[in-house]
Amino acid sequence: MSGLRVTLCLLLIVAAVLVQTTLFRSVRPLGVSPDLVLLMVIASARWVKPEVGVLLGFFGGLVLDMFEAAPFGLNALAFTLAAYVTVRIGDRFNYGLAFGMSSAGVITFIALATAVLIGTLFGEGTLGSPGILKTLLLVPAYNMVLSLAVFSLFDRLLVRPSERLARTGGRR
Amino acid sequence: MGLTVMDQMSSRIGGERKGHAPKPFKHSSPGAATHRTGADRSAFVTIVLLIISLGLMTFDVRSSNEGFGAGLRNGAKFVAAPLQAGINAVVSPVVGFADGLANLAGLRQENERLRERIAVLEGEVIRVGHLEAEVEELGLLLDLRLEDDLQELAVRAEVTGSAGILDPTLFINRGTAGGVHPGQPVVDNQGALVGVILEALEGSSVVLPITSRRAAAVTVRLADDRRGIVEGLGADGLQLAILDADTPVDEGELLITFGPYGDSHSYPKGLLVGTVTASASPRSGVIRVSVAPMGDLDRVEYLTVLPWPPSPDQLAEATEPVNPTGVVPPQSDPDSEQTGP
């Protein structure tokens, strides 16, 4: 099941990159789009071994880097850090829906802030952009909302039916 | 994590009612709770990956985006292009329909904005009418008609995607096979400058918006014939800087490209760039004011790539007066606007 999970997570991350680069070009409430790839990385990191989760974060960032003009590796760095934070606080995601959603928001903020700071050090100058505060606040907020759907998707895809039955005591 | 999100929430609420502290689930979702050793290993893996990422970034920046990163990017875009086109074919009509429904109320504001834009443009036409006549006369004298030539050679392209939360770029479905080359300016259907071609593959290209900090600064002409520099600030922001300014600029003032000037060959003259968002007076002889870009990057679906220069070779031949295509190549002479079309 572990190998299957990793494969599924990889596929979901690649699919998220495609959706991010197509659908979210048009869907930009208040001029900012959610970071679906980062959300997939966060959700994936909860379902695999910690070191694999971190590797998934690096992979997701690297794939996204292939589509962006930012220095190659910037997203890989930010997403790796996000995945690491996720695996370190992984059990806290289970404290409840609100905690899970807010954790997704906080980790998104950490990843974005990292990308902004490191990008600025590498000459990107994103820290001085006029809309940077809006981006830093709205993207985590959007990801919090989207996490409800993404986490549910991972719940459904990555749990074996027998496990689900065992955990719910046979309840449907 | 075996239970659904909703199940977890019910479980949490139940736990609180009974006064128990929340407990992490013990199930097949590994997570940190069930993989302490793995979590320790993950710290080491994370450090290694962070170092690799920093190395990749350093290498990419030092190679000016032309190293292995550029190769990977080109390959990824080549593979993803058909998939993105497929997704767009499904998603675009749905998004367009939903967008139309959602923006019914906003159409009135959009109409108002367009009316204001027309008023600005009409005012601008009157103000620069004599300049246009002069330019036309000079163009006839030189037997050059740059805009017509540019329009004939222009490459129409469809926007297939975008990437970048912090500094977006656009993908278009035309590349070197269609005559698109890095460095060429890109305009929307209204003739407003959107950006410049950053990378060109055989069948697709990447457009770097002028709002990006990476985009070349645009030398612009104001209504009173003053010259300024418009630079991207990222996140849809532009800033106009006028050095040696002695009179203020007015809100709504239209900015158009000045054409080749100094070392800047990036843009032909006469393209709409944006409007000044607020009146500003000089401070110590310098005016700095924000500019609203004319091109709407969020909604644009079709773009036009201007053959400027027609091919990378043309840039090297920029000093030649006329090229075989009939398009005037960029001039490095600061006074070129007087001798251009």
CA distance B77 to B171: 9
pLDDT value for A10: 92
- Nearest CA to B233 out of A125, A46, A51, A82 is that of A125
Q: How far is B141 from chain A (nearest CA, A)?
A: 43
**pLDDT tops 60 at residue A91:** yes
Calculate the alpha carbon distances from A112 to A107, A139, B332 in Å: 9, 9, 41
Tell me whether residues B69 and A65 touch, CB distance under 8 A: yes
- Nearest CA to A78 out of A46, A35, A130 is that of A35
Q: What's chain A's average pLDDT?
A: 85
How many residues does this entry show for chain A? 172
CA distance B209 to B240: 16
pLDDT value for B156: 79
- Is A28 near chain B, with CB under 8 Å? yes
| Pair of tokens at residue A164 | 């689900």
**pLDDT tops 70 at residue B26:** no
- For testing the chain A interface, which of B4, B25, B49, B291 should be mutated: the one with the most A CBs within 10 Å? B49
Choice among A18-27, A106-115, B100-109, B320-329 with the minimum mean pLDDT: B320-329
Which residues of A, range 86-145, sit inside 8 Å of B by Cβ? 87-97, 100, 112, 115-116, 118-119, 122-126, 128-132, 134-135, 139
Mean pLDDT on B248-257 = 84
What distance separates the 2 farthest-apart alpha carbons in chain A?
57
Tell me whether residues A116 and B42 touch, CB distance under 8 A: no
Q: How far is B306 from chain A (nearest CA, A)?
A: 21
3-state DSSP assignment of residue A137: helix
By percentage, how much of chain A surpasses pLDDT 90?
A: 36
pLDDT value for A164: 59
The more confident residue out of A44 and B263 is A44
**pLDDT tops 80 at residue B146:** no
The more confident residue out of B261 and B63 is B63
| Confidence tier at B38 by pLDDT (50, 70, 90) | low
The more confident residue out of B217 and B128 is B217
CB A60 within 8 A of CB A41: yes
**pLDDT tops 90 at residue B122:** no
Maximum mean pLDDT: which of A49-53, A96-100, A162-166: A49-53
Nearest by CB to A97, from B5, B32, B170: name it.
B5
CA distance B165 to A93: 25
The more confident residue out of B95 and B184 is B184
Q: How far is A147 from chain B (nearest CA, A)?
A: 10
The more confident residue out of B135 and B278 is B278
The more confident residue out of B78 and B296 is B78
**pLDDT tops 80 at residue B123:** no
Choice among A111-120, B80-89, B142-151 with the minimum mean pLDDT: B142-151
CA-based nearest residue in chain A for residue B67: A72
- Chain A positions touching B48 (Cβ under 8 A) are none
| Confidence tier at A22 by pLDDT (50, 70, 90) | confident
* pTM higher than the cut 0.80: no
Nearest by CB to A76, from B53, B88, B171: name it.
B53
pLDDT value for B182: 83
- Nearest CA to B165 out of A139, A125, A5, A41 is that of A139
Please give the torsion angle defined by the CA atoms of residues B34, B40, B43 and B49, in that order, rounded to the nearest 10 degrees.
Answer: -80
Mean pLDDT on B10-32 = 41
CA distance A146 to B81: 26
CA distance A48 to B31: 7
Nearest by CB to A148, from B5, B31, B91: name it.
B5
**pLDDT tops 90 at residue B48:** yes
- Nearest CA to B251 out of B224, B275, B225, B279 is that of B279
pLDDT value for A49: 87
pLDDT value for B331: 42
CB A20 within 8 A of CB A36: yes
The more confident residue out of B178 and B38 is B178
Mean pLDDT on A24-48 = 87
**pLDDT tops 50 at residue A139:** yes
| Confidence tier at B61 by pLDDT (50, 70, 90) | confident
Quick one: which H or E segment has residue B18? Answer: none
For the stretch B129-143, pLDDT in tens is 767 666 665 655 554
pLDDT value for A163: 63
CA distance B293 to B230: 10
CA-based nearest residue in chain B for residue A22: B161
**pLDDT tops 80 at residue B265:** no
- Chain A positions touching B3 (Cβ under 8 A) are 155, 164, 167-168
**pLDDT tops 70 at residue B236:** no
The more confident residue out of B68 and A79 is A79
Tell me whether residues A94 and B8 touch, CB distance under 8 A: yes
By percentage, how much of chain B surpasses pLDDT 90?
A: 3
**pLDDT tops 70 at residue A160:** no
CA distance B20 to B25: 14
| Pair of tokens at residue A8 | 């599924």
| Confidence tier at B235 by pLDDT (50, 70, 90) | low
CA distance B127 to B137: 17
Distance of CA A8 to the CA centre of its chain: 15
